[in-house]
Amino acid sequence: MARSLRGASLILASGTLVSRLLGFVRAVVLAQALGVTASAGADAFAVANQLPNNIYAIVAGGVFSATLVPAIVKSAVHDDGGRAYVNKLMTAALSLMVITTLLATVLAPFLVNIYATGWSREQLALATAFAYICLPQIFFYALYALLGEILNGRNVFGPFTWAPVANNVIAIAGLSVFLILFGADSTGTRLVTDWSPTMVWILAGSATLGVAVQSLLLFFFWKKIGLSFRLDFAWRGVGLGETGRMASWTFGMLLLTQVAGLVETNVSALASGVGASVFALQTAWLVFMLPHSVITVSLATAYFTRMSAHAAKNDHAALAGDAEESIRRVVLFMTWAMVALVSVAIPFSTLFATTFTGVTQLGWVIVATAIGLPAFSVLFLVQRVFYSLGDGRTPFFITLYQAVVFSALVLMCAWLPREILAVGVASTLSAVGITQTVLALILLRRRMPMLVVRPLIKTSLKGLAAGAVSLVVGIASASVLGAFVNGGFAVSNTASGILSTAVIGAAVSVVFVGVLWLLRTRELSDLLPANLRRGGISDK
């Protein structure tokens, strides 16, 4: 990996790691405040606080990330260095998001109702109160994405990943105030009718304030790339049309994703107050996203800028080389992460739940979610290869397949017992995601015949071998520590759960790396410091 790319990936990964670790702290404090399973209040907040993400994603989320970097890279060759393009783009995008935010806030009761059609009037009222305060986040998510992608497009990577640290610090502070004033409810026994306006404002208000600060911080770094923002409504003739055509396919793809997500939320909400439900699935997703965000997103963000530059020069051979290299690296990292998460899921869940039932319910949801991690990360990379080529059409049809199949299968989960409904939803998501990734790789190979497949297959097989052996060790270690028995050491309290997680994780890691070393896996150089590489393994 080139030194500049490695450095960019390190900056991105370090910021993401700190942010995600703070995100874990935030989730743990939130679980102590509201409960994580069988908590109607936690599920109400989960739905309301997810609405801004969903609406932003529908209107602009992936459109920004998929189209801005290639467009900004191209605009940099303009006589003004791309300043006019950036100003017009910012003006158009922010105008759209202001209108969207205002409209969504007015429609808060309707939006909450379509995501939780089976809830009681009282629970819907609580979720709606949260939503009114959370929905302004839409604008700030858009501002953060715009400013961050513009910085990334100019090879300034750090601020985009470090700004969320401020968001998490503010949210943790707000949750701490909530705990001091109103006490903990780790078992989720607080009734929806027990919530006061002050409680709602502290919880939802701190969440929105954190997102606002996260986005506004990025303005301080614009001078570093020689840009200054001014409103410019003269949108014709600067090249936004090409960006719009690409964005239209991405918009369709995200709309499909959100429709599938709407079905998922309504089905999982059926278990609210009974077992693992919306909040438990979101917590499992947070755990799932830690390795993906720290490793895959960091690598992909750095590679995406370089791949876009190769595409702009029509250097498809170099683009294919980047694609093959990035996928190989991610396959190993994410297989390792998947095996580790599956092995430690139940003891790790003691961070969020305090009863054996709650710990095991959340733990199995994490297991079911984690199984799809390698495929999810590879798909993320493959999509960015298509985006760098200006191809939004192919990812749209790949997502169409996923949305249709997943929605049909997840509807069947509604007939599962409520105690395992969330596990069924998570398992369905992982299974469909794996087949979706296989389809995406086949289509990428057709689009880029110069893509070398043999190294990908070889690395994947080595990763699977190492994963299988280390998984056996991980499950055996968890069993010895009592992870599957009520009163067992690994699940008796949070401290023993953390200690067990560390022991199991270390065992899995040593075995995984050891098997890769025995198989002489050259990508092992990315997993180990240089002074630990032996046996002729090289990163060449």
The residue to which tokens 């070398």 are assigned = 452
Cα separation of 488 and 477, whole Å? Answer: 13
pLDDT(514) > 90: yes
Residue type (1 letter), 260: A
Torsion angle of the four alpha carbons 160, 141, 276, 33, in this order, in degrees rounded to the nearest 10 = 80
**For the segment 171-214, what is each residue's pLDDT rounded down to a tens digit?**
999 999 999 999 988 887 888 899 999 999 999 999 999 999 99
pLDDT category at 288 given cuts 50, 70, 90 is very high
Residue type (1 letter), 500: S
**For the segment 129-178, what is each residue's pLDDT rounded down to a tens digit?**
999 999 999 999 988 888 887 787 667 777 888 899 999 999 999 999 99
**Average pLDDT of the residues of the chain:** 85
Which pLDDT belongs to residue 452? 83
Phi, then psi, of 357 in degrees rounded to 5: -60, -45
Which pLDDT belongs to residue 90? 78
DSSP for 439-453, please give it. Answer: HHHHHHHHH-TTS--
Burial 277-313 (b: 16+ CB within 10 A, else e): bbbbbbbbebbbbbbbbbbbbbbbbbbbbbbbbbbee
- Burial (CB < 10 A; 0-12, 13-18, 19+), residue 229, is middle
Cα 517 to Cα 459, 492, 521, 532, 539: the distances in Å are 12, 36, 6, 11, 13
**For the segment 336-382, what is each residue's pLDDT rounded down to a tens digit?**
999 999 999 999 999 998 889 999 999 999 999 999 999 999 999 99
**For the segment 45-62, what is each residue's pLDDT rounded down to a tens digit?**
999 999 998 887 766 655
Q: What is the 3-state secondary structure (H, E, C) of 38-96?
A: CCHHHHHHHHHHHHHHHHHHHHHHHHHHHHHHHHHHHHCCCCCCCHHHHHHHHHHHHHH
The residue to which tokens 């090289």 are assigned = 538
Cα separation of 22 and 210, whole Å? Answer: 13
Average pLDDT over residues 475-487: 96
> Which residues lie closer than 8 Å to 510 by C-beta, 6 or more apart?
none
**For the segment 315-334, what is each residue's pLDDT rounded down to a tens digit?**
888 888 888 988 998 999 99
